[in-house]
């Protein structure tokens, strides 16, 4: 498949999965309203603004959260490797037609990189010192192109909103559980038997929704990773560069606990927590072998 085909395919899948997530979120809000008020519109009226505010707040603080969790520092142009990193970021920004992101560095032996920022104009790209030392020029270029693609595709926004929705669904679910535990459900008017069935369905939805939303979020995350791979390959016109970089990451046996909590994992180019099973539906990143295979087939 051509690179362009990969890009189209990945974009389409992302739309489908995001649509499913939106549907899930709305059904949860409806179910909540039904259980408590016998009326779905009330919860929509109150629930939706609250959810939006919650997501807005997490989004505003996303950059500080990520940078301090990763203990990243601005790149030092006096160190040749870091100066070359800044050069690479500038080149990729030109290729992508984006403003030049700020460049940060994380002192770590692992090979990794991530991108963050509220919008393409205020973006930040960070690479580990391990990456600067262990990767060759074309490999580093592939990694930076991958991160630049995340910025161009607004993946940080998508990731934050999706995580926010997952959090909101989990929150609603817990509220329902606790109040049912203390015997508060069913305040809404029950006019006939039919309502009981809907009530049960609503409760089952609320129980299963957190799991489904989390799985959906992970599926979105993986698709966005494939998309960033294909877009990055298109930017450099050299899929082999990123493929070799992923191989280097695979074979890198350096120790050292990865910094940052599990929530920032999806922003990295490779899962820093190797202990997570790489082939399961619970992974934030697609398996490295499959990513390498796709890149080499372009």
Partner 1 sequence: MELLLTVGIVILVVVILFLLIFWGYYNRIIRLENRIDNSWAQIDVQLKRRADLIPNLMETVKGYMTHEKETLENVTKARSALMNAKTPQDNINADNMLTGALKTLFAVAESYPDLKANQNFLQLQDELTHTEDKISYARQHFNDSVLAFNNIVETIPGVWFAKRMNKTVKEMLQIPIENREVPKVKF
Distant-in-sequence, close-in-space partners of 226: CB < 8 Å, separation ≥ 6: 6, 10, 286, 291, 294
Interface mask toward partner 1 for 133-172; x: CB under 8 A = ----------------------------------------
Query: For residues 267 and 221, what is the distance between their CA atoms, to the nearest angstrom?
Result: 9
- Dmax (CA) of the chain: 76
- Helix, strand or coil, per DSSP, at residue 107: coil
Of 154 and 237, nearer to partner 1 (C-beta) is: 237
Q: Is residue 183 close enough to count as binding partner 1 by CB under 8 A? A: no
**Per the residue annotation, which of 147, 174, 225, 290 is the catalytic one?**
147
What angle, 0 to 180 degrees and rounded to 10, lies between the N-to-C axes of helices 194-236 and 137-152? 140
- Give the Cβ contact number of residue 240 at 10 Å: 16
- Helix, strand or coil, per DSSP, at residue 82: helix
Structure tokens belonging to residue 168 = 């909101």
Q: Strands of 73-74's sheet, edge to edge?
A: 73-74, 102-106, 124-128, 113-116
Q: Is residue 80 close enough to count as binding partner 1 by CB under 8 A? A: yes
Q: Is residue 83 close enough to count as binding partner 1 by CB under 8 A? A: yes
Q: Is residue 95 close enough to count as binding partner 1 by CB under 8 A? A: yes
Q: Which stretch binds partner 1 (CB under 8 A): 79-87, 127-135, 223-231, 290-298?
A: 79-87
Q: Is residue 84 close enough to count as binding partner 1 by CB under 8 A? A: yes
Of 91 and 240, nearer to partner 1 (C-beta) is: 91
# binding residues, partner 1 (CB under 8 A)? 12
147 is catalytic: yes
Of 38, 46, 91, 180, the one binding partner 1 (CB under 8 A) is 91
Of 52 and 94, nearer to partner 1 (C-beta) is: 94
Residue ranges in 229-258 that form contacts with partner 1 under rule CB under 8 A: 237
- Give the Cβ contact number of residue 259 at 10 Å: 17
Shortest Å distance, C-beta 140 to partner 1: 12
Site residues, partner 1 (CB under 8 A): 80, 83-84, 87, 90-92, 94-97, 237
């Amino acid at each position: 498949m051509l690179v362009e085909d990969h890009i189209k395919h990945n974009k389409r899948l992302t739309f489908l999965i995001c649509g499913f997530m939106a549907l899930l979120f709305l059904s949860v809000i409806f179910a909540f309203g039904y259980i408590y008020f016998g009326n779905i519109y009330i919860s929509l009226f109150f629930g939706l603004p609250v959810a939006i505010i919650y997501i807005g707040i997490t989004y505003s603080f996303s950059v500080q959260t990520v940078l301090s969790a990763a203990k990243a520092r601005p790149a030092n142009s006096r160190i040749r490797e870091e100066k070359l990193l800044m050069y690479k970021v500038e080149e990729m920004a030109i290729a992508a037609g984006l403003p030049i992101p700020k460049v940060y560095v994380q002192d770590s032996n692992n090979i990794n990189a991530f991108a963050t920022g509220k919008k393409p104009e205020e973006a930040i790209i960070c690479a580990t010192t391990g990456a600067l030392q262990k990767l060759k020029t074309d490999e580093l270029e592939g990694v930076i192109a991958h991160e630049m693609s995340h910025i161009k595709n607004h993946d940080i926004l998508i990731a934050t909103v999706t995580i926010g929705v997952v959090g909101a669904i989990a929150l609603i679910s817990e509220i329902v559980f606790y109040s049912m535990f203390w015997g508060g459900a069913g305040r809404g008017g029950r006019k006939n038997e039919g309502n009981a069935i809907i009530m049960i369905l609503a409760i089952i939805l609320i129980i299963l929704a957190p799991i489904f939303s989390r799985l959906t979020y992970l599926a979105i995350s993986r698709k966005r990773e494939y998309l960033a791979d294909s877009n990055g390959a298109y930017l450099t016109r050299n899929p082999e560069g990123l493929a070799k970089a992923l191989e280097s990451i695979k074979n890198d046996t350096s120790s050292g606990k990865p910094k940052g909590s599990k929530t920032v994992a999806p922003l990295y180019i490779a899962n820093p927590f190797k202990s997570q099973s790489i082939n399961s539906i619970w992974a934030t990143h697609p398996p490295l072998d499959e990513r390498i295979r796709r890149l080499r087939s372009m």
